Amino acid sequence: MGRICDRAATALLWLAGAFIVALLVYFLGYIFIRGLPVLDLGFIFGLPRELGTGGGVGPQLFNSFYILALSLLFSLPVGVGAGIYLAEYARPSRLTRAIRLSTECLATVPSIVLGLFGMIVFVNLFGWGLCILAGAATLALLNLPVLVRVTEEALRAVPRSYREGSLALGATRWQTVRRVVIPAAAVGIVTGVTLVAGRALGEAAVLIFTAGMSVSRFFPDPNPFAAGETLAVHLWYVNAEALVPDAARIAAGSAALLVLVVLCFNLLVGLPGRLVQRRLTGK
Amino acid sequence: MRRFLAVLVLLVLAAAGCGGRGEKDSISGKVLVAGSTALLPLAKQAAQLFMQEHPRVTINVSGGGSFTGLQQVAAGAVDIGTSDVPAPADDPHYKGLVEHVVAVAPFVIVTHPDVGVASLTQRQLVDIFTGRITNWKQVGGADRKITVIHRPPSSGSRMVIKSIVLQGREFTANAVVMNSNGEVFNGVASTPGAIGYIDAAYLKEGVRAIKYNGVPYTKENVANGTYPIYAFERMYTRGEPAGATKAFIDFVKGDEFQQGYVEKMGFLPTNLVRK
Amino acid sequence: MTRVSKRDGYAKRQWFYDRFFRSLFVLSAAFVTLVVVAIIIFLARQGLSTFREVSPLVFHFSTRWAPPEHFGALTFIFGSVAVTGLAVLIGGPLGLAGAVFMAKLAPAWARSIMRPATDLFVGIPSVVYGWIGLSVFRPVIQEYAGGAGFGLFLAGIILAIMILPTVISVSEDALRALPLRFEMASYALGATRWQTIWRVLLPAALPGLVTAIILAMARAIGETMAVSMLIGNSPLFPRSLFVPTATLTTEIVLEMGNTPFGSTWNNALFYMAFILLVISLALIGIIRFVIQRRAVYGQDM
Average pLDDT over residues B45-59: 88
Q: Is the pLDDT higher at B109 or at A121?
A: B109
Rounded Cα distance between C43 and A102, Å, is: 14
Looking at residue A63, what is its pLDDT?
86
Phi-psi region of B21 (alpha: psi -120 to 50; beta: other; left: phi over 0): alpha
When pLDDT is cut at 50, 70 and 90, the band that residue B275 belongs to is low
Q: How far apart are the first and last CA of chain A?
A: 43
* Tens-place pLDDT, residues A111-154: 777 887 888 888 777 877 778 888 899 999 888 888 888 888 88
CB-CB: which of A24, A195, A255 is closest to C131?
A255
Residues A240, B58: C-beta atoms closer than 8 Å: no
pLDDT at residue B78, as a whole number:
85
Ranges B14-23, B58-67, B116-125, most confident: B116-125
Name which of B30, B47, B63 is nearest A208 (Cβ-Cβ).
Answer: B63
Q: Read off φ and ψ for residue B120, nearest 5 degrees.
A: -135, 145
Residue C87 vs residue A4, higher pLDDT: C87
State residue B212 phi and psi, 5-degree precision: -100, 115
State residue A22's pLDDT score.
Answer: 92
Handedness of CA B138, B140, B142, B148 (dihedral sign): negative
Q: Residue C106 — φ and ψ, nearest 5°?
A: -65, 135
pLDDT at C1: 43
For C211-243, the pLDDT digits (tens) are 888 888 888 888 888 898 899 888 888 888 888
Q: Model confidence at B20, in pLDDT bands (50, 70, 90)?
A: very low
Answer for the pair A255, C226: CB distance below 8 angstroms, yes or no. Answer: no
E strands present in chain B: 29-35, 57-64, 80-83, 97-111, 119-120, 147-150, 176-177, 194-199, 208-209, 211-212, 230-238
The pLDDT, as a whole number, for residue C301 is 39
Cα–Cα distance measured from residue A233 to residue A238, given in angstroms and rounded to the nearest whole number: 9
Choose, out of A47, A49, A50, the residue to mutate when testing the contact with B (most B CBs < 10 Å).
Answer: A50
**Interface residue C72 vs chain B (CB under 8 A):** no
DSSP B210: P
Mean pLDDT on C172-198? 88
Rg of the Cα atoms in chain A: 22
In this predicted structure, the answer to whether residue C82 has a pLDDT above a threshold of 90 is yes
SS (H, E, C) chain A: CHHHHHHHHHHHHHHHHHHHHHHHHHHHHHHHHHHHHHCCHHHHHCCCCCCCCCCCCHHHHHHHHHHHHHHHHHHHHHHHHHHHHHHHHCCCCHHHHHHHHHHHHHCCCCHHHHHHHHHHHHHHHCCCCCCHHHHHHHHHHHHHHHHHHHHHHHHHCCCHHHHHHHHHCCCCHHHHHHHHHHHHHHHHHHHHHHHHHHHHHHCCHHHHCCCCCCECCCCCCCCCCCCECCHHHHHHHHHHCCCCCCHHHHHHHHHHHHHHHHHHHHHHHHHHHHHHHHHHHCC
Question: Which are the contacts of B48, defined by CB distance < 8 A and separation ≥ 6?
Answer: A50, A217
Rounded CA separation B52/B34 (Å): 20
Lowest mean pLDDT among A12-16, A177-181, A224-228, C227-231: A224-228
Whether B18 has a pLDDT exceeding 50, the answer reads no
The pLDDT, as a whole number, for residue C80 is 92
pLDDT, tens digit (0-9, with 9 covering 90-100), for C96-155: 999 999 988 888 888 888 888 887 887 788 888 988 898 889 989 988 887 788 889 999
Q: What is the pLDDT of residue B107?
A: 92
* Interior/surface letters C268-283, b for 16+ CB within 10 angstroms, e for the rest: bbbbbbbbbbebbbeb
pLDDT in tens, C240-258: 888 889 999 888 888 877 7
**What does the pLDDT read at residue C5?**
56
Residue C260, preceding peptide bond in cis (omega within 30° of 0): no
A53 has a pLDDT exceeding 80: no
- For the cut 50, the answer to whether the pLDDT of residue A16 exceeds it is yes
User: Whose CA is closest to A198, among A259, A252, A107?
Assistant: A259
The residues on B that touch C, with CB distances below 8 Å, are: 37, 63-68, 70-71, 88, 91, 93, 145, 147, 149, 152-156, 170, 173-179, 183, 186-187, 190-192, 194
**What is the H or E stretch that residue C57 is in?**
helix C56-61
Averaged pLDDT for residues C160-180: 89
pLDDT band for position C68 (cuts 50, 70, 90) = confident
Given a cut of 60, whether residue C296 has pLDDT beyond it is no
Strand, coil or helix: B31: strand
For residue A1, the model assigns a pLDDT of 62
pLDDT reported for residue A280: 59
Rounded CA-CA distance A115/C277 in Å is: 15
Please name the residues between 220 and 239 in chain C that touch chain A, using a CB distance below 8 Å. 221-222, 224-225
Interatomic CA distance for residues A111 and C228, integer angstroms: 13
Label residue B13 by pLDDT band (50, 70, 90): very low
Q: In this complex, do B64 and A209 lie within 8 Å of one another by their Cβ atoms?
A: yes
In this prediction, residue A41 carries a pLDDT of: 78
d(CA B181, CA A239): 9
Range in A175-189, B132-146, C82-96, C286-300 with the lowest mean pLDDT? C286-300
User: Quick check: B62 and A212 CB within 8 A?
Assistant: yes
What is the residue type of C86? L
Q: Is the pLDDT of residue A212 over 80?
A: no
Arithmetic mean of pLDDT, A227-237:
82
Half-sphere exposure of C265 (CA within 13 A, CB side): 19
Residue A58 amino acid letter: G
C149–B68 C-beta distance less than 8 A: no
**Neighboring chains of A (3 or more beta-carbon pairs < 8 A):** B, C
Q: How far is B178 from chain A (nearest CA, A)?
A: 10
Nearest CA in chain C to B191: C148
Residue (of B220, B219, B180) closest to B196 by Cα position: B180
Q: Is the pLDDT of residue A157 over 90?
A: no
The DSSP bridge partners found for residue B238 are: B97
Residues C33-52: pLDDT tens digits? 888 888 888 888 888 888 88
Average the pLDDT over each of B67-76, B199-208, B223-232 and give the range with the smallest value. B67-76
Mean pLDDT of A86-95: 81
Q: Which of C118, C165, C154, C164 is nearest to C226 (CA)?
A: C154
Which CA distances in Å does A95 have to A78, C26, C207? 18, 12, 25
pLDDT at C76: 92
Question: Could you say which DSSP state residue B177 is in?
Answer: E
Q: Which residues pair with C71 in a beta bridge?
A: C65
Would you call C234 and B179 a contact, using CB atoms and an 8 Å cutoff?
Answer: no
The answer to ipTM > 0.90 is no
**Mean pLDDT, chain C, as a whole number?**
84
Q: Say whether A144 and C281 touch across the interface (CB within 8 A).
A: no
Taking the CA of residue B224 and the nearest CA in chain C, the distance in Å comes to: 32
Chain B residue with the nearest C-alpha to that of C131: B183
pLDDT at B71 over 70: yes
The DSSP bridge partners found for residue B58 are B30
- Chain A nearest CA to C74, separation (Å): 19
pLDDT at B23 over 50: no
CB A113 within 8 A of CB C252: yes
Question: The whole model's pTM is what?
Answer: 0.83
Mean pLDDT of B2-9: 50
